[in-house]
Amino acid sequence: MAIDKTKMAKQFSEAIPHAKALGIWLDDIGQGTAEMGMPYNEKFIGDPATGVIHGGAVFALLDGCCGAAVMSHPDQKGLTATIDLRVDYMRPATPGQNIRAKATCYNVTRNVAFVRAVALDDNDEKPVATAAGAFVTGA
C-alpha cells in the first residue's frame, strides 16, 4: 500500500507541467519526506546584477517538494493542496549551482498536514531558504 502511494506521488510530480517547465526532478521520496532538485537556468534569474535565481522559482520548488512530502505520508489519503506556505530567504543561491529541496511532513491531523522544508545549493551548511506550511489532507 505504502509502495503504491509512493509510486503515485512520484508519477504525479513528474506529470506536473510547471515542475517540468522549471526542470524540477524528484530525488527521493520516503514516508512523509521528499527531496527534489532544480537546475540553474538563466531564464529563472530574478536579479540581473548578480545572476541570482528569482525567489519565485525557489518558492515553486519548495511548494512542490512540500506537497510531495505530504502525499507520501502514511496517514495521508489522496491528493493535497497548499493552505499556506511561508518562505524565508536566508541568502542568495549561488549562480550556476543546482538548488535542492528537502521537505518533511512532521504532523498530520484529520484535515491538515504540517510541513517544513529547506533549500540548499552546493553548500550543505548554510541553507538558501527555509519553508513552513500547512496543507489540506485528503483533498
Write out the residues near another protein by the rule CB under 8 A. 15-22, 42-49, 53-57, 59-64, 67, 79, 81-89, 92
Smaller CB separation from another protein, 30 or 46: 46
- Please report how close the Cβ of residue 134 comes to another protein at its closest, in angstroms: 10
CB of 82 to another protein, least distance (A): 4
| CB-nearer residue toward another protein: 59 or 114 | 59
Residue with C-alpha cell 537546475? 39
Strands (E), 6-111: 25-29, 33-38, 45-47, 52-53, 81-89, 99-108
Do residues 11 and 20 touch, judged by C-beta distance below 8 A?
no
Distance CA 7, CA 96 (A): 31
Closest C-alpha to 119, from 66, 79, 81: 66
Task: Select 19 or 29, whichever has its Cβ closest to another protein.
Answer: 19
What's the min distance (Å) between Cβ of 41 and another protein? 8
Cβ proximity to another protein: between 17 and 110 the closer is: 17
Q: How far is the CB of 38 from another protein (least distance, A)?
A: 10
